[in-house]
Amino acid sequence: MTYLKYLFSPIEPYFKDFYQPLDSEHKIYYEISGNPDGIPVVYIHGGPGGGTSPVCRRFFDPKKYKIILIDQRGCGQSKPSMLMKNNTTDFLVEDMEAIRKLLGIDKWVLFGGSWGTTLSLCYAIKYPNNVAAMVLRGIYLNRQSDIDWLFQEGASYMRPKEFAKFIEPLGLHERQNIVDSYFERMNFGDEETKKAALAAWCEWECALISMKKIKIDVFKDFKSTAEISYIENYYFKNKGFMPENYILDNVERIKHIPTHIIHGEYDLDCRPSGAYELHQKLPNSSLWMLTNTAHTQREWKIAKKLVEIMQKLEV
């Protein structure tokens, strides 16, 4: 069953621009579509490094919402591609806040998936009074155990064949810290080694996001492959640029914000336990654990539930 049947019809943005912070090479792409006088909602993409795409606009009723899409530093239509100078979680949070002010928005709805939930929660913790509500799909809390699950031991048990391919290029000593070993290859290998590492990282991630094993040609749009692989690896090597357990340790600041949590019970990319832990800490939250469902917003049950929530949302 295709997820697209649950979404709204394609629309085009009525405004596009770049926000350039002072003393920075980064130019952050953002766009606006939908109703100029509607409820402001910002789509916060995953990865980090995933970027947005036209389908992201379609989760929202264009008559009800003022839809803002932002490509985070170094990816999508933001420039330069894969620039990691001044590229940390704090910078991404401040970019969001600067764009909110630029657009004259009082409060907005945060709509994030995967890493987008991490960034949404970090933004809300920093600026709780600027958030009307949160709709979060595929909770990722960015603890060391979450990183290890993805790239060291955990998901490896669920996709053993794909994991074997992922670590095949690494020597035995390199396998002791896979994230660091891939960082070395992506940054200090020859061009062939770098390209192979970027492709292998993306293929492993793609093996975890869907109930059905999907074949993706990572070389078809290698710019996107390179961005998500390189930026993800850079962030995860640096522990997401936040202290251990930062989100759960600071949820007291956001407990008043209406929060809607959607998670697939067979999500191999982001553990369902994280969604449950967050829900337990947020008294003003609702949790939908969807059966026979994995990670991506392209899972039909996830797409359907996201649209349902946005249709009913009142702020």
Active site residues: 114, 267, 295
For residue 253, give the amino acid letter.
Answer: R
Query: What is the rounded CA–CA span in Å between residue 156 and residue 166?
Result: 10
Burial 43-75 (b: 16+ CB within 10 A, else e): bbbbbbbbbbeeebbbbbbbebbbbbbbbbbbb
- DSSP alpha helix (H) spans, 18-143: 89-102, 115-126
Tokens matching residue 300: 């039909």
- For the chain, where are the alpha helices, taking DSSP H only? 89-102, 115-126, 144-151, 155-158, 160-167, 178-188, 191-206, 222-237, 246-249, 272-281, 300-312
Query: Is-cis flag, bond preceding 48, omega within 30?
Result: yes
**311 C-beta neighbours (distance < 10 Å), count:** 11
Give the residue among 263, 278, 200 at the shortest CA–CA distance from 233. 200
Q: Distance of alpha carbon 12 from its chain centroid, rounded?
A: 22
Distances in Å between the alpha carbon of 36 and those of 40, 45, 63, 187?
Answer: 9, 22, 9, 43
Interstrand relation of 28-34 and 15-19 (parallel, antiparallel or unpaired) = antiparallel
Q: How far apart are CA 207 and CA 286, in angstroms?
A: 29
